[in-house]
Structure 1
Amino acid sequence: MMRIDTRQIILGNVAPLGMERVELLAALGRVLAQDVTAPWDMPNYDSSAMDGFAVRSADCAVEGAILRVAGYIPAGGSVSGPVLPGCAVRIMTGAMVPRGCDAVVPLEKTVEADGRVTILAPVRQRQHIRFRGEDAATGDTLLTTGTVIQAKEIGLLASFGKAVVPVYRKARVAVLSTGDELVELGESPAAGQVINSNALYLAAAIRELGAEPIILSIARDNRESHRENIREGLKADALITSAGVSSGDRDFVRAVLAESGVRQILGKDDFRGGGPKAFGMKGDTPVFSLPGKPTSTMIVFEEIVRPALLKMMGHRQGIPLYFHETLRGAVCKKTTGPSVRSTRDSRQVRGAYGRM
């Protein structure tokens, strides 16, 4: 596991990207960049919560009251003038409660015949009415900055007419794999070659976060190829490199990053486990140098890159939390010698994500 202070150093160097306004459906999965307040009361009129009859509760204080049916209000409709004493109006769910009425009686509590309705039970004032402003009053905060917009937030925003939403910008993340041994997906690797799977994993993981991956050409084992690709990668909001971070005669990543103006903040000696890695900044652009082994790439991405990218896109949750569990079954690892078995072993497991 990475030391927690290295992750905090990285998070301390990145900040949310700028705000943009997008159409409502395009905001799904994005992070709200400003508080959203109610532009009107919700509901914006007193409405019926049931199909039934709008009545004056004073006319229905006892069981068996008989009222004259004076009209009908469908959803979206209304009646002119107030309802007079001794009268009721048939009303549908969501319809505006007419003036003079202060309660709604459900259909199943009534019997209608010959232009009259019998109320089968005493009526309480205000029953089965959704009153204006009951859900939200004008100016109330509906959603706060930092909210991740999901389907329920889309529905809420739509109900208040929010066709355009302020969200944090998606991070554009360049992905650079290095090494002469790499071939692209679709090519048949020759002896000593491997498919550039890291680029596809990283692109998928970046897209899974809601960011936009940019897969660069493979940087071959020479400085010029590295310079060209790193120059292009630094145009993005963040750059992730894979492999070439160690000290071999073909490991050019750190040297070319330094030539390109990237200030190294953390080197391989600042991390624990996961293979050689580094972190630096060029201006506001973070650069994550990951190891080349695919499993190490995945682990390091989860540990330090994912939380940083989430923070850049306005998320408040993103640091993996950990808990310990004990294996209940045997674990066998193949080795060049005798197999190694463990029947009980405490393992660290990633749980939910915590606050930044």
Structure 2
Amino acid sequence: MEIVTITEARRRLDGALPSYEAKIEYVTPNQALGRITARDITAACDYPPYRKSPFDGYAIHSHDGNAYEVVATIGAGIVYDGPVAAGQAVRLMTGCAVPDDCDTVVPQEYVERQGNHIRVTESIPPGSNIIPKGEECRSGAVIIPAGTKLTAGALSVAVGLGNERLPVYAKAKVLFLTSGRELVLPGEVRHHGQIYNSNAYLFQPLLEQYGAEVTFYHVSDGPDQLADEMAAVRRLARDKDLIVSTGGVSVGLYDTMPQIYQSLGAVQLYDRITMRPGSASYGGVIETDGRRTLILGLSGNPSASFNAFHLLAVPILRRLNGERNSEFPVVTCHLGEAIYKKNPVDRFVQGRLTYEQGQPIFTPNTTLTSSALLGLAHTNALAYIKKGTPPLPKGAPIEVIFL
């Protein structure tokens, strides 16, 4: 058994992808949310693409007087391209294109109207209240740099500047495996001694949240099914960048995942980590025809696998998907409740980071065992407690990884 620290495990996994370059594809804006831009996205047009009115009012061809004849009324999306002479005005709505002959927009609140004639009641300097063409950017300007995660706001900018296809890194292809005859899915009959497969509904969404294209398969770990399941995993793993599994990596009689990985030709990187919870772990790599597939075998216990997933899998997924920063932010907090655990190895405690009177507070979950489940519903941070640290009282300072 090769036991390593979490730092060494990460170093070995990082080394397994020394020169990985994510593939680039062009997708529609509807497919791009959360993806990472592979190239700079530029403006396809000026923005705004025409002179426009910032509010409802009257576009005028200004002159020395304050009386104007209204020659047209237009709404947004309608263009008035007729002449507008001195002493004439066009009624327009917010966002309308200002007619070429007009040099000023008068807010409707500054106007008295009778029939087709208006009188301006306030002093408006010529040239006022017109948003110029290209005020925010010109065609060809970089609006979203390469390496940017496409949020809803970024997509709005890309579409608003005329982009129909967006260059993004291809999603990492991940095979996600759960393991164990004790697991049943919702809707299946649960017999005594069995539990629902909560990991399937924890990690497939998390993998997708971090940009993966996920294939799911369940391994029973039954000896009479092992050969068939090895063949199934081998077939499903062929084009994958990463394999993530939960369960079957400890020292039990039916912990078969390392055996399955060995059958795939995996080279073991480690098979245990000095941390709690999450020490039961397997790292490996398969190299076939120049293609490398990383393997992360995680504990079957929900809390343990949750920790290892965020500490090991998320940085890899971010690299595979082209993100430049693969790390979570670290915040120095004060403990909202004491942590009485002894720490013979590095410990990562699940809990919630909140702010009270402007100060960050970390409140640990009530149950801190590796098999704890309920706390995952509100966990948003992991407190890092170094090996050898004594139990910590309420109010003690602590470093927290904000998820």
TM-score by length of 1: 0.81
Match of 1:41 among 43, 46, 53: 46
Q: Is 1:300 aligned with 2:351? A: no
What SS does structure 1 have at the residue aligned with 2:203? helix
In structure 2, relative to structure 1, the CA distance for the partners of 1:100 and 1:203 (3 Å cut) is closer
Name the CA distance, whole Å, in 1 between partners of 2:184 and 2:79: 70
What SS does structure 2 have at the residue aligned with 1:216? strand
Q: Counterpart in 1 of 2:25? A: 20
**How far does residue 305 in structure 1 lie from its aligned partner after superposition?**
0.9
**How far does residue 95 in structure 1 lie from its aligned partner after superposition?**
2.4
**How far does residue 27 in structure 1 lie from its aligned partner after superposition?**
1.8
CA displacement, residues 168-214 of structure 1 (integer Å, 9 cap, x when unaligned): 222332222334544555232334x4444333322232233343332
**How far does residue 158 in structure 1 lie from its aligned partner after superposition?**
2.7
Q: Counterpart in 2 of 1:151? A: 152
In structure 2, relative to structure 1, the CA distance for the partners of 1:328 and 1:37 (3 Å cut) is closer
Q: Is 1:320 aligned with 2:328? A: yes
Question: 2:169 touches 2:321 (CA, 8 Å); kept in 1?
Answer: yes
Amino acid at match of 1:131: P
Name the CA distance, whole Å, in 1 between partners of 2:116 and 2:245: 79
What SS does structure 1 have at the residue aligned with 2:112? strand
In structure 2, relative to structure 1, the CA distance for the partners of 1:302 and 1:104 (3 Å cut) is same
Question: 1:42 touches 1:135 (CA, 8 Å); kept in 2?
Answer: yes
CA displacement, residues 290-320 of structure 1 (integer Å, 9 cap, x when unaligned): 1222221111111111221233223344422
How many pairs does the alignment contain? 342
Match of 1:253 among 245, 257, 264: 257
Q: Which runs of 4+ in 1 moved over 6 A?
A: 331-335
Name the CA distance, whole Å, in 2 between partners of 1:292 and 1:75: 58
* Aligned-residue CA RMSD (Å): 3.3
Question: 2:338 touches 2:392 (CA, 8 Å); kept in 1?
Answer: yes
**How far does residue 330 in structure 1 lie from its aligned partner after superposition?**
5.8
Q: Name the structure, 1 or 2, with higher relative contact order (CA <8 Å, separation 6+).
A: 1
What SS does structure 1 have at the residue aligned with 2:328? strand
TM-score by length of 2: 0.73
**Paired-residue identity, %:** 28
Amino acid at match of 2:191: P
Name the CA distance, whole Å, in 2 between partners of 1:332 and 1:213: 39
Match of 1:263 among 256, 264, 267: 267
Deviates most, 67-76 or 296-305: 67-76
Q: Counterpart in 1 of 2:190? A: 188
In structure 2, relative to structure 1, the CA distance for the partners of 1:32 and 1:303 (3 Å cut) is same
Amino acid at match of 1:311: R
Question: 2:284 touches 2:294 (CA, 8 Å); kept in 1?
Answer: yes
CA displacement, residues 66-105 of structure 1 (integer Å, 9 cap, x when unaligned): 2333444433334445432333333332222223322111
What SS does structure 2 have at the residue aligned with 1:69? strand
